[in-house]
Structure 1
Amino acid sequence: MTLLRTPEASALCGADHHRLGYVPHYTRVFAPGPAIYAAWTQLVTALWAGMDERRDELVRHAAARRLRARYCVLAHATVLQSTFLDTDSLLAIAVDRHGSDLDPLRAHLSNMEIFHVVAAVAACRFCTAVLDATHTTTDDSYDALDPTPRAALLQPCNGGHHDQ
């Protein structure tokens, strides 16, 4: 699950167990540092307030793909598939190999929206680095993701960190 020994009695674990019915592995990683988790949550809440939920999930998913962050790829793909996209659309995202360039974004987003996207990606890098450094494995709940896009989503994207 993770290299860290994490407390079961953490307030973070209790809150997530109540909210989700289980304790995600990322929560266990942050359990020894609830103040750090709270500060990170406050940062990302402010950053993602400038985006609707669909764009937020797409941005976090794209950042995770680029960073080759297996945990985050599956987490955000699961949300996208259960809330916003059908399997074919999720698979199309997985195999789309277009680069991410600011010029196409400018045609669809304001400067402030682009800033929110860029800053949100930077916040994703923090969480990804913590999960990567602690060798945090994915939650069993992500096994429900359709296997076809799941396999494609976990294929390397243009650069990024190593898979775990």
Structure 2
Amino acid sequence: MSILDLPSDAEATGLTAEIYAEDIRSMGQVPSHTRAVSLNPEAYLAWESLTKAISSSLGVRRYELVTLAAAQAIGSDHCRLAHGKKTLNILGEDQLLAVARDFHDAGLSPAEVAMMDYAVKLSTDAAAMTDGDSRALRELGFTDREIVDVTLAAGARNYFSRVLLALAVDLDIPEGLSPELREALLAPLPVRPANSD
């Protein structure tokens, strides 16, 4: 549980009040992560601008798949649940369940699996990455910009997820997730043998 003193809807002022109002318009509530990070509203708005720039360039489907892979690798329940809910607008629940359980066996394209593997490696052992990791994406048809965008999406998720974990932000459970999907999204990353692809 976070020690932060988070403003209520009625207590928020200025930019923070505007950020709260946008969440209420779009989601019907202000999640705990918004309340925490918008204690620095300028940084929160910069984060929003960054993620919009990345997702509009990469495409929503790829952005959400990379985000889910990175969030699962980090162990971020906040981001897995929030982006699991967002991904329901892109994938049906059955496929999202398969992605959450093991994206390697979820009917995704080889390019999508590769970019998710890349996001996992960036999130768990970035120091071990070499040009071979990005070359593997290029060989599957990714352009240089798309490789940068995949990297930015995974790196940005590391930033935000780790901030929420460090601040012990309360976990919000989004409405509309079945118990089965919620459990799958919160499961640890499956352990795969080396060179299993």
Query: Does structure 1 retain, via aligned residues, the 8 Å contact 2:67–2:157?
Result: yes
Higher-Rg member (1/2): 2
Superposition deviation, residue 7 in structure 1 = 1.7
Does 2:49 correspond to 1:42? yes
Which blocks of at least 5 consecutive residues in structure 1 are unaligned? 160-164
**Larger RCO, structures 1/2 (Cα 8 Å, 6+ apart):** 1
Query: Does structure 2 retain, via aligned residues, the 8 Å contact 1:66–1:158?
Result: no
Q: Percent identity?
A: 35
In 1, Cα distance between the equivalents of 2:51 and 2:93?
A: 28
TM-score (structure 2 length as normaliser): 0.71
Superposition deviation, residue 119 in structure 1 = 1.0
Does 2:117 correspond to 1:100? yes
Query: Does structure 2 retain, via aligned residues, the 8 Å contact 1:6–1:31?
Result: no
Does 2:37 correspond to 1:5? no
In 1, Cα distance between the equivalents of 2:169 and 2:32?
A: 7
1:87-116 CA-partner distances (Å, limit 9, x unpaired): 210111122264815465331422211110
Among 86, 89, 93, the residue aligned to 2:92: 86
Runs of 4+ in 1 over 6 A off after TM superposition: none
Query: Does structure 1 retain, via aligned residues, the 8 Å contact 2:102–2:190?
Result: no
Equivalence for 2:163:
130
Which blocks of at least 5 consecutive residues in structure 2 are unaligned? 105-115, 119-132, 192-197
Superposition deviation, residue 33 in structure 1 = 0.4
Does 2:64 correspond to 1:62? no
In 2, Cα distance between the equivalents of 1:31 and 1:59?
A: 24
| Matched position secondary structure for 2:155 | helix
TM-score (structure 1 length as normaliser): 0.84
RMSD: 2.2
Count of aligned pairs: 157
